[in-house]
Amino acid sequence: MLQNLGILALFTFVYSLAARRLDKTPINGALVYVAFGFLCGPLVLGILQLSIGTEGIRLLAELTLALVLFIDASNADLGVLRRAVKIPGRMLAVGLPITIVFGIGVGMLLFPELGFFEIAILATMLSPTDAALGKAVVTNEAVPAPVREGLNVESGLNDGICVPILFTFLACATHPESGGGLSIALGFVAQEVGIGLVIGVGLSALGALGLRAIADHGGVAHAWSAVPIAALAFACFTLTQFAHGSGFIACFVGGLVFGHMARDHKEELLVGAEGAGETFSLLTWVVFGAAVLGGQHAGFVDWRVIVYSLFALTVMRMLPTALSLVGIGVSVPAKLFLGWFGPRGLASIVFIVIVSHEKLPGNPILVGSVVTTVLFSVIAHGLSANPLAQRFGASEARAAGEGA
């Protein structure tokens, strides 16, 4: 245990010193964390021995995702979002269902041994995008603001929306003899979303009012600047989950409310919270590299899994995105950019841990497909984020200049 903590502490220290430079290169963030975890894990150097179970991985990934969602939402520009709300609205209402349907169709061709609902579970697990992996794009000011805010909102809400869909398919897969399984699960959709909205808005509004109340009396002590937002994000998530709602929706909606209500007093708190979010992300991806890719929870992989993973990151995401944005004035390059930057990560990891507990017959294929897709996404989106963001931003700027 002490050896593990020492290795993680040294790596965190070294990465924190190099983070500013690395953030300007294609090699940064999750890609470095996963590579470090894999190299230090049991398959290579064997110096990082993480005997962490699936519940531990799930808890770490959930808390990381909750914090990242809350921070990203707090940073959102609601003025830009109001002017460009059609982009995330179309991608969630039209693109997301088409993505799941595409995933089911190709899954049926590649995995005939799986049941229909197992394939539907796989497609749902790989439909939500990852706010943490997409951070390099949504924070890059070279990307036009409507596109950045559209991606930010979509990634913040699609995982929460997919939770009740996943449980619907899971109920049908585990209780095929129950005619009420589907109706019960569908009723769960409204409960998850509604509870998430109520708790997320309520807690975050109270937190923002509290911050505003102490702002005239010196504000939060500097030594505690990293604590309030992280604590509020975890409170939104855990209390909503306890109340059987969607903690992810609570965190994202709560972050939007907090960011708007406390916009004049949040800057220092967000800087501290972003540091905490980066630390949680580092730990999550190191664990993924060491424990999951290291073979402890990797699942089954063959050529069909690889093909499905590549499909999930390309056609399954990009074509529905393009179709959903028809007729609202989004350029072809913007559609391609929005479609490509749908990284898969923390939400998919959380989902596969939930599903693996049900011990479905197709679990090895489901686990292998999710793990492979996330690995490909970490590499592909990590390497392409900065170069493509700069290129796309320059292209849109030229097009705007020519049209002026």
Give 145-167 pLDDT, tens digit per residue: 889 888 988 888 888 788 878 88
212 sits in which H/E element: helix 181-215
Task: Indicate yes or no: pTM above 0.75.
Answer: yes
Task: Name the nearest CA neighbour of 256 among 276, 233, 284, 279.
Answer: 233
Q: Which amino acid, one-letter code, is at 36?
A: F
In this predicted structure, what is the pLDDT of residue 184?
58
Give the span between the Cα atoms of 191 and 31, in whole angstroms. Answer: 36
Place of tokens 């005619």: 179
Task: Name the nearest CA neighbour of 162 among 296, 375, 344, 347.
Answer: 347
> Do 35 and 338 touch, CB atoms closer than 8 A?
no
Residue 348 to residues 10, 338, 355, Cα–Cα distance (Å): 29, 19, 10
Both tokens assigned to 368:
């292998």
Q: Give the pLDDT band (50/70/90) at residue 188.
A: low
Write down all domains in the chain, each with its CATH number in brackets: 65-395 (1.20.1530.20)
When pLDDT is averaged across residues 341-354 and rounded to a whole number, the result is 88
The pLDDT of residue 292 is above 90: no
Give pLDDT tens digits for 370-391: 999 999 999 999 889 888 998 9
When pLDDT is averaged across residues 117-137 and rounded to a whole number, the result is 88
In this predicted structure, what is the pLDDT of residue 206?
95
Give the span between the Cα atoms of 207 and 198, in whole angstroms. Answer: 14
How many C-beta neighbours within 10 Å does residue 26 have?
Answer: 14
341 in helix, strand or coil? Answer: coil
> Do 162 and 375 touch, CB atoms closer than 8 A?
no
Give Cβ neighbours of residue 59 (< 8 Å, ≥ 6 apart): none
Q: Which amino acid, one-letter code, is at 393?
A: G
337 in helix, strand or coil? Answer: helix
Give the span between the Cα atoms of 207 and 205, in whole angstroms. Answer: 5
Q: Give the pLDDT band (50/70/90) at residue 168.
A: confident
275 in helix, strand or coil? Answer: helix
Angle (deg, nearest 10), helices 145-174 and 116-125: 150
Give Cβ neighbours of residue 257 (< 8 Å, ≥ 6 apart): 200, 201, 204, 205, 208
Decide which of 92 and 182 is more confident.
92
Region of 258 (left: φ > 0; alpha: ψ -120 to 50; beta: rest) is alpha
Mean pLDDT of the chain, nearest integer: 86
Give the span between the Cα atoms of 120 and 123, in whole angstroms. Answer: 5
101 in helix, strand or coil? Answer: helix
> Do 158 and 137 touch, CB atoms closer than 8 A?
no
Decide which of 265 and 95 is more confident.
95
Give pLDDT tens digits for 56-84: 888 888 898 899 889 888 887 777 777 77
When pLDDT is averaged across residues 249-275 and rounded to a whole number, the result is 85
